[in-house]
Amino acid sequence: KEQPKKEQPKKEQPKKEKKEKKAPPPKKEKKEPTAEEKRAKQVKDAKKEGGKKAVDIAGAAEMTLGMEFFCTTLEKSEGDIELLQMAMDAMNVEVEPDAEERKGGSGHIGKMIFSASNDQLAVVAHVPKELVEKINCKEWVESVVAFINEPDATEVLPGICETKGAFVVKGKPGITF
């Protein structure tokens, strides 16, 4: 018969000293961007969005074989007419063939772009010189703005020529577009 094993007394192991946890290093407080820095970021975002959207528009025009006019929205401009015009300018630049990322390239297409905020809708249009005989830019934009049916809220900005249109539709209290 086997004899029961004798239990050996457990050796007391020395208790490990708990290391004091070091406090995490203080987090650097993020500095609030200045108004100039915020605007610079808005400008950069609007131009980037315009340039990328233009690549899509140019691609759609190539696939449809004959698309000459296009309407779309841009979000980054947030209803700011100046940012929307910068986005339009970015849409119309020639594509750099050796650029890492394609931007622009839709200058040959008539475009109307919209951007809205809670207070206003901004509309910018471009008609290339080759298409001026088919459509008058100012009349095109005015017909769209008239469709909104807010003539008292429409502000036509100065500097409209036959190939560019820039309009702002300002919201009225209690009216949603």
Q: Give the model confidence (pLDDT) of 41-86 as tens digits.
A: 999 999 999 998 988 888 888 887 778 998 999 999 998 888 998 9
pLDDT score at 1: 57
Separation CA 15–CA 98 (nearest Å): 67
Residue with the two structure tokens 């036959």: 162
Residue 120 near residue 80 (C-beta atoms within 8 A):
no
Q: Is the pTM of this model over 0.95?
A: no
Separation CA 157–CA 19 (nearest Å): 69
Q: Give the model confidence (pLDDT) of 97-150 as tens digits.
A: 777 787 888 889 999 998 988 877 888 888 888 998 998 887 888 788 777 766
- pLDDT greater than 90 at residue 9: no
CA atoms within 13 A on the CB side of 60: 15
CA distances from 154 to 16, 74, 102, 177 (A): 77, 20, 35, 12
Taking residue 68's Cβ as centre, other Cβ atoms within 10 Å add up to 15
CA 122 from centroid of its chain's CA atoms: 14
pLDDT score at 163: 46
**What per-residue string of b and e applies to 20-58 under the rule 16 or more CB within 10 Å gives b?**
eeeeeeeeeeeeeeeeeeeeeebbebbbebbbbbbbebb
Separation CA 85–CA 89 (nearest Å): 6
pLDDT score at 155: 60
Separation CA 94–CA 96 (nearest Å): 6
